[in-house]
Amino acid sequence: MQPPGPQPRAKRWRRRLLTGLLCAGAWAGAGADEPLQFNRDIRPILSENCFHCHGFDSNHRKADLRLDSFEGATAPRKGRPAIVPGKPEESELWHRITARDPSDRMPPPDSGHALTEQQIERLRRWIAEGAVYQKHWAFEPPRRPALPRVQRQDWARSPVDVFILARLEAEGLQPSPEASRETLIRRVTLDLTGLPPTPAEVDAFLADTRPDAYERLVDRLLASPRYGEHMAHYWLDAARYGDTHGLHLDNERSMWAYRDWVVAAFNRNLPFDQFTVEQLAGDLLPQPTRDQLIASGFNRCNVTTSEGGAIDEEFRVRYAVDRVETVGTVWMGLTLGCAACHDHKIDPISQKEFYQLFAIFNNIAENAMDGNALLPPPWLPLPTPEQEARLKALDREREQLQAALAQAVSRLDYRDPAEQSPPPVPQTRETVWIDDEFPPGAEPQINPGTPPNRWITAAEGPVHSGQRSLERKGQGVHQAFFPNCNQPLVLGTDDTLFAYVYLDPDTPPTAVMLQFHVDGQWSKRANWGDPNAIPYGRAGTPEKLLQGDLPPTGRWVRLEVSTRQLQLAAGTRITGMAFTQFGGRAWWDAAGLRTVQDPTRDPGLSLQAWWEQERERKDRSKLPESFRACLEKPLGQLSAEERAAIRTHYLREVHAGAPAVTELRQQIARVQREKAELEKQIPGTMIARELDTPRPAHVLIRGQYDKPGEPVGPGVPAVLPPLPPAEKTNRLTLARWLVSPEHPLTARVSVNRFWQQLFGLGLVRTSEDFGLRGEWPSHPELLDWLAVEFVESGWDVKRLLRLLVTSATYRQSSRVTPELLERDPENRWLSRGPRHRLDAEVVRDSVLFVSGLLNLQMGGRGVRPYQPPGIWEAVGYTTSNTARYEQDHGPALYRRSLYTFWKRTAPPPFMVLFDAPSREQCTVRRERTSTPLQALALMNDVQVVEAARHLATRMWREGGNADRDRLAYGFRLVTARAPTSLEADVLVENLELQRLRYRADRAAAQALVAVGESPVPEDVPVTELAAYTLVANLLLNLDEFVTKN
Amino acid sequence: MTPWIEFAQRMTRRAFFKSTGLAAGRIALATLMLPELLRGADKLQARAHPGLPGLPHFKPRARHLIYLFMNGAPSQIDLWDYKPRLQELYDTELPDSVRQGQRLTTMTSGQKRFPVAPSIFKFARHGKSGIWVSELLPYTAQVVDELAVIKTVHTEAINHDPAATYLLTGSQIPGRPSLGAWISYGLGSESENLPAFVVMTPRWSSKRDAQALYQRLWGSGFLPARYQGVPLRAVGDPVLFLNNPGGVDAAARRTMLDGLARLNQMAYERSGDPEIQTRIAQYEMAFRLQTSIPELTDLENEPRSVLDLYGPEVTVPGTFAASCLLARRLVERGVRVVQILHREWDTHENLPRDLSLQCRDIDRACRGLILDLKQRGLLEETLVVWGGEFGRTVYCQGELTRTNYGRDHHPRCFTMWMAGGGVRGGLVYGETDDFSYNIVRDPVHIRDLNATILYCMGIDHRRLTYRFQGLDQRLTGTEEARVIHGILS
């Protein structure tokens, strides 16, 4: 097969390649005659063995000696300077590292560090060559290097390849031939979409003889919505995204809109600089859009707590530290966290500089305790357009009603009854609150596990009044109750609360109780019957008034309790009531209040009475702020102006004597209620918002929140370019600084991560650490070339990925010989194509995809697919709302793994087994292991076994009529290639064996195909389906299936 | 990470650079041979995964660790740290000279009073050593001569989540490998049929609302996932995904695995990637797990006399007693670390009632475990550790009566005990003041405790490191940690 020919762009590069300058030495390490380079050859030795005590950290520096700078190392000292350039013999360092005596020897033998002979020799040579220091490479801005000269002229397709080839030639290695087209399409489809190609897509690619068939394939993949989903799973590791708060109770949090934003951002190819700015500071952009606010949720992805007893400041500090560390790792490849407690031991980051960055992230307007809430503020509601329109309509309606109310009030001719003479006579009145129905606005409840409420008519049992009574029958304590009723009973001066009850003479309860909801509490109770049966409250107090024996059975009895006994003052609002029984059966009816109304003392009728009541009330939050100071005085002592304002407020909001006003007030309440209910249905997402006044920031001594040292303002480490001058230095300043072209790290760190995604290893292998201890890049010029290219392209991520996957380097075969394995075990020189196990999400998604089960619905709240029992229960705080796993059913079982609900203290087990991080903290590089537990998961997890059955069904239905054809089809579905004849033999033989087994044991066959919740196909004989299912299970366990080849 | 990086990190840098070519070849050869080794000869002690070269650093005192973690923080004052003088001080104010303005949780920092709540439980001397033990632990008291009781463990964390994370991972912030993962990484597995690090989370008896656990307490943090603790479960499959689906017996599975191995072998011949050989070996190990785990959990052959040691609940799956017996069976089979996490020791209120229930869950089984290990000669090579994430305050939280009280979190001193491999029995280490509030003598930071545990396992905590984020990370962190030689035999 002909590889596609070079494109115009590649041609241009080839010309440059021909005229390219010779690169100054590829990185084989210095040869014997080549001068040593500090960054490459010396710094790793010093930072590994010496900087811990003789480095940047001034507090822990020993013997006042620093070896991380030329000045420090050559400074005059008592005795010999540590380093005398050109003269190892006169350098104390040389004597110390070669000392025989352990007490003189450096590094000290008990430090756990030791130099090799080779390292000692290298240090000697470096001193002899003049001890030249270099600034750490990663802190110098990248410059586009010239292309190196290479011998082989027919291989490179792009500058990327030229750099790779130059290195290979220096190593005396050859690139591998191009991979087969089946391998290529599978590799690039997995890399760009996280799913394997379909046989049809493979066929189309094989049949496409156009020279740019591969590039067209790449463009198709980059345009697929699957692309953004796949890219998002890497990014969400870095962003430490989860669907729970992550600490202690680990309740659900609503952040999925942010996750969906990330998917969309990759899909619309949002330039990486904007991608950065919107996440770090979307809320600080001028007139931020809804999307930009959602993006700012990046800052809220850190784990949070609401553990009882936790100290606010301690956690506020932790959150800000987490944000600094995350930004350090994700954008700068710096381990800034090391400088939280002391100056960084390795990198030139002082503790003070850490807290300058901290000062930037210390100002998010959040509470330290998340309240275990779904949406700890600040958060953004996300209404649909229809919901938004309805909200607006409700607001308009409320405004109109309020205008009408104001007008109605202005028409009132009100005189306070307390000021009338003679005063009006008190009146007794009875209000029935509950009859046939709980009061409007009440939300009736029962205790979990107790019998439901049953309203019955006279045909079914005793009814006292109206049409119905409430029947309750059950064991032990059971209750019917409703709290927070918004049409409460308002108590008068000397009232009686009552309820009618009819006790079943055959099975009477042993005790009954009335209970009242006041100020959010259920602490007022009256008991009849066995005083010990219902255990709540202390007997003899209003928590548990003992009203005597159980009333007579078999007839309606009026239970009464006086508000005086319950110690409830006039004006108190009863917002709920509970009918409680211990065992037995009873009917309840007509409950309410007999009130003595004295208009002169009734806050609903007398302004003065109301004012006095408000003056005694502890909670003043419901009054307009402007009055609160007035509460110090009786009404009569206030100014006329104050009195007028209070009077208006009273008539509008409180006065109960004018039906027209009350009616309007109720309408307003209805509108507000409707709005509240609608708002409850509207999802939200946590976002960032900046405090108006920044919190003061200090250097925290030893990193302790309660040991503030010197105050600091916002800033960045001096080793990096300065922040641009700004009126306010905040997250936006920092974000823009990160993506400014002179920043030495952001572009390098980012392109390195994309490289790692495709090739398995970064050019800098420690993709989280570009500091002094980080690994030296395998191809420094290539890294810089890519970084500059990325920035100059306008931070175009798709373009960068296209550049990489269309390179000759990427397209190589991954086949490796033992010799090559010995020369380059990790494939750092890229003499072959990438081959490594797929990420957890890709494995599961591929299983679902090849079986035809995958549901491609995008976005929304996390779903809960199959999960073995007991995973959440084993760890969950019992009252957490994620203590018990309630699995979804139907299509939600088959969504892409990106949409699986992520509980951070117990993440999805399949994901964890395949090396997904817990998302409790930022991760930019996943481990990749191979374990027996992974094998068990792929063999036995319900979702894999069910998928195997569907894959079997596809083989049977779509694969032809012969076993061999069907098996070959299945093989192709999972590997994108046809099996060799030997491979087909193994499959056929395996199928035969399983078929024999299931023909002999039909029950076993039925049991196997019954795994999973999807219906079993009827057109495939069950023994055949079972045999094929187990072979499909084999296919889904193939190394080739779980590996990107 | 590719296996190659992992491999490189598992070697000391020096050894790696010296012998890269050679070592790579050797490993490739070893992995080539693995399937044959594993399949053919059960007699061959092919280790499931080897430890680091150079480890153990010195002769280990213990080869196994059983960690009995009491999540929620047991009250040292009511169990171990006997303070008879407190009886006279009932309901008096905790002197400021004792409290020294120490920070409190916000659950009690608003309390107007800090009344002294003496323990209502009786203490007595036990064993030859005459160590004081509370009446709540009558069985444990009988083996007190095997225990080193450390009364002066302390920590900085005052809330459960950070404190438990700190004790078991060395950091209050999530993300670090757990103690068991470190040991598994350093020493590898002795068993070819069982994981190196097994975790159990038995049920508990006091109030229903239990403090949470977190998988990070047995997680592998930045270490590769293979070092994470494997939960041995009482519901569902005993090990996740262990059981074949309905309708698939061992023979059918074997057929499938044989076909799989042949196809994977062909893939290896085609691609030359040694990782394929590793995968083949892992599938064989998985198959062996399918028989070794049922064998492990089958108590059929345990004699009555042994079962009786652990108490009547030992045959009820998911109890602490059953977990302890499994722990013994696990270490007997070469499992390196067993961690049992028992929940709800968080006695802010109703301490007398709840603590009694909790102790009843564990007391008899703790003794049973010690005696059973001992009679098999396993105790001398197994380190047993018991304790929670912090202690509890001498002052009462909430209402104090003669019969009831509660206690808040107290990080300044708490009691743990250790027994077995390398530990001197019948010993009390450290001393607290009359209020069990401050340490008077021999403080043991939880870092010291972890350094000591590693030491018993033959590991120098300063030298068991893993490069992550530019640092040689270690369990005991960057601060000073010292081995408590005073408790070692």
pLDDT greater than 90 at residue A806: yes
Residue B265, in any domain of the structure:
no
Residue A2: pLDDT band by 50, 70, 90 thresholds?
very low
Which pTM was predicted? 0.81
Shared domain check, A1009 and A975: yes
Give helix A213-222 / helix A199-207 axis angle, nearest 10°.
150
Residue A933 near residue B279 (C-beta atoms within 8 A): no
Shared domain check, A416 and A448: no
Residue A168, in any domain of the structure:
no
Residue B107, in any domain of the structure:
yes
Residue A579 near residue A470 (C-beta atoms within 8 A): yes
Q: Tell me the C-alpha to C-alpha distance, in Å, between residue A193 and each of A156, A180, A809, B26.
A: 26, 20, 20, 37
Residue A224, in any domain of the structure:
no
Shared domain check, A256 and A369: yes
**Mean pLDDT along residues A680-686:** 95
pLDDT greater than 50 at residue B28: no
Residue type present at position A358: F
pLDDT greater than 90 at residue A249: yes
Residue A505, in any domain of the structure:
yes
Domain that holds residue B66: 55-234+317-487
Residue A97 near residue A123 (C-beta atoms within 8 A): yes
The domain that holds A466 is classified in CATH as: 2.60.120.430
pLDDT score at B428? 97
**Tokens describing residue A472:** 């309750």
Q: Which of B27, B201, B214 to mutate to test the interface with A (most CBs of A within 10 A)?
A: B214
* Bridge partner list, A718: none
* Bridge partner list, A478: A581
> Is A1045 in CB contact (< 8 Å) with chain B?
yes
Phi, psi of A364 (to 5 degrees): -80, 135
Shared domain check, A477 and A580: yes
Question: What SS3 state is found at A364?
Answer: strand
Question: What's the whole-number average pLDDT of chain B?
Answer: 88
- Supply angle C-alpha A480, A484, A489, rounded to 5: 90
Residue A588 near residue A499 (C-beta atoms within 8 A): yes
Shared domain check, A396 and A369: no
pLDDT over 70 percentage in chain A: 97
**Between residues 165 and 204 of chain B, which touch chain A (CB distance below 8 Å)?**
173-175, 195, 201
Give the residue with greater pLDDT, B40 vs A87: A87
pLDDT score at A35? 79
Q: Where are the beta strands (DSSP E) in A671-800?
A: 684-686, 697-700, 708-712
> Is A934 in CB contact (< 8 Å) with chain B?
yes
* Bridge partner list, A244: A252
Q: Tell me the C-alpha to C-alpha distance, in Å, between residue A1020 and each of A849, A928, A964, A997, A1025.
A: 21, 39, 17, 17, 6
pLDDT greater than 50 at residue A20: no
* Bridge partner list, A589: A500
Residue A27: pLDDT band by 50, 70, 90 thresholds?
very low
pLDDT score at B31? 38
pLDDT greater than 70 at residue A650: yes
pLDDT greater than 80 at residue B41: no
Q: How far is B227 from chain A (nearest CA, A)?
A: 10
pLDDT score at A617? 72
How many domains are there within chain A?
Answer: 5
Lowest mean pLDDT segment, chosen from A201-205, A428-432, A811-815, B69-73: A428-432
Q: Which of A133, A158, A181 is the last residue of a domain?
A: A133
**Mean pLDDT along residues B228-245:** 93
Give the residue with greater pLDDT, A994 vs A85: A994
Chain segment B291-318, per-residue pLDDT in tens: 999 999 999 999 999 999 999 999 999 9
Residue A964's CB is within 10 A of a number of other CB atoms, namely 16
Q: Which of A699, A722, A749 is the last residue of a domain?
A: A749
Question: What SS3 state is found at B236?
Answer: coil
pLDDT score at B450? 97
Closest CA to A398 of A673, A654, A678, A651: A673
**Mean pLDDT along residues A474-498:** 86
Measured CA to CA, the distance from residue A682 to residue A697 in angstroms comes to: 36
Residue B50, in any domain of the structure:
no
Q: How far is B98 from chain A (nearest CA, A)?
A: 20
Chain segment B120-153, per-residue pLDDT in tens: 999 999 999 999 999 999 999 999 999 999 999 9
Tell me if A1038 and B267 make a contact (CB, 8 A cut-off): yes
Residue A987 near residue A971 (C-beta atoms within 8 A): yes
Residue with tokens 């009932």: B90
pLDDT score at A32? 57
pLDDT score at B207? 67
How many domains are there within chain B?
Answer: 1
pLDDT greater than 90 at residue A393: yes
Closest CA to A849 of A897, A787, A797: A897
**Tokens describing residue B184:** 């598994």
Lowest mean pLDDT segment, chosen from A10-19, A605-614, A704-713, A983-992: A10-19
Chain segment A727-755, per-residue pLDDT in tens: 899 999 999 999 999 999 999 999 999 99
Tell me if B275 and A347 make a contact (CB, 8 A cut-off): no
Residue B277, in any domain of the structure:
no
Tell me if B471 and A773 make a contact (CB, 8 A cut-off): yes
Residue A347, in any domain of the structure:
yes
Shared domain check, A248 and A362: yes
Q: Tell me the C-alpha to C-alpha distance, in Å, between residue A389 and each of A383, A394, A674, B59.
A: 9, 9, 14, 75
Shared domain check, A586 and A459: yes
Give the residue with greater pLDDT, A501 vs B103: A501
Annotate A796-833 with DSSP letters as a single string. -HHHHHHHHHTSTTTTB-----HHHHHH-TT-TT-SS-
Residue B173 near residue A921 (C-beta atoms within 8 A): yes
Q: Which of A650, A680, A710 is the last residue of a domain?
A: A680
Residue B390, in any domain of the structure:
yes
Residue A219, in any domain of the structure:
no
First to last CA, chain B: 41
Tell me if A835 and B21 make a contact (CB, 8 A cut-off): no
Question: What's the whole-number average pLDDT of chain A?
Answer: 91
**Mean pLDDT along residues A996-1006:** 97
Contacts of A188 (CB under 8 A, 6+ apart): A214, A217, A218, A221, A805, A810
Measured CA to CA, the distance from residue A944 to residue A1036 in angstroms comes to: 8
Annotate A971-1008 with DSSP letters as a single string. HHHHHSSPPPHHHHHHHHHHHHHHHHHHHH-HHHHHHH
Phi, psi of B267 (to 5 degrees): -60, -40
Torsion of CA A866, A868, A870, A872, to 10 degrees: -50
Handedness of CA A761, A763, A766, A767 (dihedral sign): negative
**Between residues 259 and 278 of chain B, which touch chain A (CB distance below 8 Å)?**
259-260, 262-264, 266-268, 270-276, 278
Query: Which one of B2, B18, B247 has the shortest CB-CB distance to A1005?
Result: B247
Phi, psi of A367 (to 5 degrees): -90, 145
Give the residue with greater pLDDT, A290 vs A131: A290
Measured CA to CA, the distance from residue B116 to residue B94 in angstroms comes to: 6
The domain that holds B62 is classified in CATH as: 3.40.720.10
Chain segment A128-140, per-residue pLDDT in tens: 888 888 888 999 9
Q: Report the residue of chain B nearest A906, measured CA to CA.
A: B215
Residue A490's CB is within 10 A of a number of other CB atoms, namely 18
Question: What SS3 state is found at A775?
Answer: coil
Q: How far is A987 from chain B (nearest CA, A)?
A: 7
Chain segment A862-903, per-residue pLDDT in tens: 999 999 999 999 888 888 999 999 999 999 999 999 999 999
Measured CA to CA, the distance from residue A698 to residue A358 in angstroms comes to: 9
Shared domain check, A467 and A483: yes
Q: Tell me the C-alpha to C-alpha distance, in Å, between residue A210 and each of A3, A218, A743.
A: 10, 14, 42
Give the residue with greater pLDDT, A637 vs A864: A864
pLDDT score at A446? 84
Q: Cis before residue A107, ω within 30 degrees of 0? A: yes
Residue A400, in any domain of the structure:
yes
Shared domain check, A439 and A588: yes
Question: What SS3 state is found at B345?
Answer: coil
Residue with tokens 């030997």: A982
**Mean pLDDT along residues B180-192:** 92
Contacts of B220 (CB under 8 A, 6+ apart): B177, B178, B181, B185, B226, B227, B228
pLDDT over 90 percentage in chain A: 65
**Tokens describing residue B286:** 């998985």
Contacts of B347 in chain A (CB under 8 A): none
Chain segment B333-360, per-residue pLDDT in tens: 999 999 999 999 999 999 999 999 999 9
pLDDT score at B48? 53
Measured CA to CA, the distance from residue A983 to residue A9 in angstroms comes to: 41
Residue type present at position B195: P
Chain segment A522-578, per-residue pLDDT in tens: 999 999 999 888 988 888 889 999 999 999 999 999 999 999 899 898 778 898 999
Measured CA to CA, the distance from residue A767 to residue A774 in angstroms comes to: 8
Domain that holds residue A57: 38-133
Residue A797 near residue A269 (C-beta atoms within 8 A): yes
Residue B343 near residue A874 (C-beta atoms within 8 A): no
DSSP state of A42: I
Q: Which of B5, B49, B158, B277 to mutate to test the interface with A (most CBs of A within 10 A)?
A: B5
pLDDT score at B208? 66
Residue A1042 near residue B276 (C-beta atoms within 8 A): no
Q: Tell me the C-alpha to C-alpha distance, in Å, between residue A1004 and each of A1009, A1018, B178, B287.
A: 9, 17, 42, 20
Chain segment B51-101, per-residue pLDDT in tens: 898 899 999 999 999 999 999 999 999 999 999 999 999 999 999 899 888
Measured CA to CA, the distance from residue A286 to residue A289 in angstroms comes to: 9
Measured CA to CA, the distance from residue A150 to residue A272 in angstroms comes to: 32
Q: Tell me the C-alpha to C-alpha distance, in Å, between residue A150 and each of A158, A325, A761, A810, A811.
A: 13, 41, 24, 18, 19
Phi, psi of A357 (to 5 degrees): -70, -40
Tell me if A926 and B1 make a contact (CB, 8 A cut-off): yes
pLDDT score at A614? 82
Chain segment B240-271, per-residue pLDDT in tens: 999 999 999 999 999 999 999 999 999 999 99
Q: Which of B58, B191, B240 to mutate to test the interface with A (most CBs of A within 10 A)?
A: B240
Give the residue with greater pLDDT, A15 vs B113: B113
**Between residues 460 and 489 of chain A, which touch chain B (CB distance below 8 Å)?**
none
Shared domain check, A115 and A97: yes
Contacts of B34 in chain A (CB under 8 A): none
**Mean pLDDT along residues A192-218:** 97
pLDDT greater than 50 at residue A495: yes
Residue A303 near residue A240 (C-beta atoms within 8 A): yes
Closest CA to A504 of A531, A476, A473, A525: A473
Residue A510, in any domain of the structure:
yes
Query: Which one of A318, A920, A1001 has the shortest CB-CB distance to B175?
Result: A920
Give the residue with greater pLDDT, B361 vs B109: B361
Tell me if A929 and B214 make a contact (CB, 8 A cut-off): no
pLDDT greater than 60 at residue A348: yes
pLDDT score at B157? 94
**Mean pLDDT along residues A374-393:** 96
> Is B411 in CB contact (< 8 Å) with chain A?
no
Residue A182: pLDDT band by 50, 70, 90 thresholds?
very high
Shared domain check, A396 and A274: no
Shared domain check, A577 and A437: yes
Residue A10: pLDDT band by 50, 70, 90 thresholds?
very low
- How many contacts does A have with B, using Cβ atoms within 8 A? 309
pLDDT score at A31? 53
Residue A413, in any domain of the structure:
yes
Measured CA to CA, the distance from residue A160 to residue A779 in angstroms comes to: 10
